[in-house]
Amino acid sequence: MQREHKLVALAVLFVAVVFLLANSIFIVNEGTRAIKLRFNKVVRDGDGQVVVYKPGIHFKPPFIENVIRLDARLQTLDDTTDRFLTVEKKDVLIESYVKWKVADFGRFYTTTGGNYSRANDLLRRKINDRLRSEVGSQTISDIVSGQRSELMSQAKESLNAGEDGASTFGIEVIDVRVVKIELPTEVADSIYQRMRAERMAVAGEHRAQGQEQAQVIMSQTDRNVTVILSEANLEAAKIRAQADAQANEIYNATYGQNLELFNFLQNMEAYKTSLANNNSVLLINPEKDSFFQYLFNNSIANTNTRPNLNVTVPPSALPSTPVEPVTPTTPAAPATPAPATTPANN
């Protein structure tokens, strides 16, 4: 019986030792940190600093101290979209995210109770205040274009600095990034209209400049064409004049050898031109008109070719006033020369 009591006592002692050891030993995993609470107060060292336990096996007094484990890894606060007002009094929607971690585990626990959701809410308010201050001093074009990186760096510095920064929560902001910048519908429509008007003005200016240059080019082209044509006509006239002069020299040299042949050929060409129409009616006097000297002369009259004297003249070709016949006049006899005077002899 006594042996049984001893065994029970040993078992109870073993359980008590195991229980005491379980409450005295705690393990901190990798990526976490631990702090101790003594009567719900954070345990500090002699210098007043919070005792933070790194990964490993640690000991504590049982029952009077509790261990709080906190995540020491990098945290992400995303899906933060809010409306901000620029210096132009234009609303913009900015979506951003923040990378942060716990820097002071004691202060973080006392301000947030170790609740990371509450820490995200507190940090989101701080971020919106800083972004609102930075965006309010810049224009939309500055935010969208080259000064976005400057905006993010200034927001990060302002979050980590100051008495009301993220350090009041024991948090250190590692990075602030602007993911997307959008315009509200009412603001976007007005901006798009202004951009369209500006682009149309630029396009109109370019078109006007193009038309002006086109007019200049066309004027220069017309001037060049006129000059080229004038020079070409002048050169052609010179060439024709030279050709006509050479032709006349050839004609003069050729027909100068036989003037009668030249007159005959010229009259033949005139006959061809004048008598080209078979219905031509000519009222002529062959005896007085020298134009037909080669048609009605003695040498041609002796040939077999005779002119057609049975020509019917239509009434329309006759003159309205009768023409009186011309009576040929007898040429006057030449004057008798006066007798020569013989000089007197002295």
Dihedral sign (CA 233, 236, 242, 247): negative
Give mean pLDDT, residues 18-42. Answer: 81
Co-location of 240 and 215 in the same domain: yes
Helix, strand, or coil (residue 153): helix
Give mean pLDDT, residues 316-343. Answer: 40
Give mean pLDDT, residues 16-43. Answer: 81
Task: Return the bridge partners of 99, or none.
Answer: 76, 175
CA atoms in the 13 A half-sphere facing the CB of 67: 21
CA distance 12 to 53: 32
Domain presence at residue 13: no
Tokens representing residue 74 in the block: 């990098």
For the chain, the straight-line distance linking the first and the last C-alpha, in angstroms and rounded, comes to: 230
Co-location of 45 and 128 in the same domain: no
Helix, strand, or coil (residue 93): strand
Q: CA 139, 145, 146 angle in degrees (round to 5)?
A: 105
Q: What is the largest CA-CA distance in the chain?
A: 230
The answer to whether 174 and 100 are in contact (CB under 8 A) is yes
Dihedral sign (CA 230, 233, 237, 243): positive
Which of 205, 221, 250 represents a domain boundary (last residue)?
A: 250
Domain presence at residue 146: yes
CA distance 140 to 137: 10
Averaged pLDDT of the chain? 77
Residue 219 has pLDDT above 90, yes or no: yes
Q: Give the domain extent around 24.
A: 19-71
CA distance 213 to 206: 10
pTM equals: 0.49
Domain presence at residue 205: yes
pLDDT of residue 342: 38
pLDDT of residue 41: 80
pLDDT tens figures, 254-293: 777 877 777 888 888 887 777 777 676 667 666 666 666 6
Co-location of 105 and 177 in the same domain: yes
pLDDT tens figures, 298-314: 554 444 444 444 434 34
Co-location of 33 and 126 in the same domain: no
pLDDT of residue 289: 65
Which of 134, 167, 183 represents a domain boundary (last residue)?
A: 183
The answer to whether 131 and 221 are in contact (CB under 8 A) is no
pLDDT of residue 53: 86
Domain presence at residue 39: yes
Residue 125 has pLDDT above 50, yes or no: yes
pLDDT tens figures, 236-249: 999 999 999 998 88
Which of 201, 228, 250 represents a domain boundary (last residue)?
A: 250
Q: What is the CA radius of gyration of the chain?
A: 65
Domain count, the chain: 3
CA distance 94 to 124: 13
Among 30-44, 68-82, 87-101, 331-345, whose mean pLDDT is lowest?
Answer: 331-345
The 10 Å Cβ neighbour count of residue 32 is: 15
pLDDT tens figures, 62-78: 778 788 889 989 998 88
| CA-based nearest residue to 120, from 91, 104, 97 | 97
Q: CA 55, 61, 65 angle in degrees (round to 5)?
A: 80
Express as a percent the part of the chain with pLDDT over 90: 14
Give mean pLDDT, residues 220-236. Answer: 94
| CA-based nearest residue to 191, from 87, 92, 81, 84 | 92
Give mean pLDDT, residues 40-50. Answer: 79
Express as a percent the part of the chain with pLDDT over 70: 77
Domain presence at residue 338: no
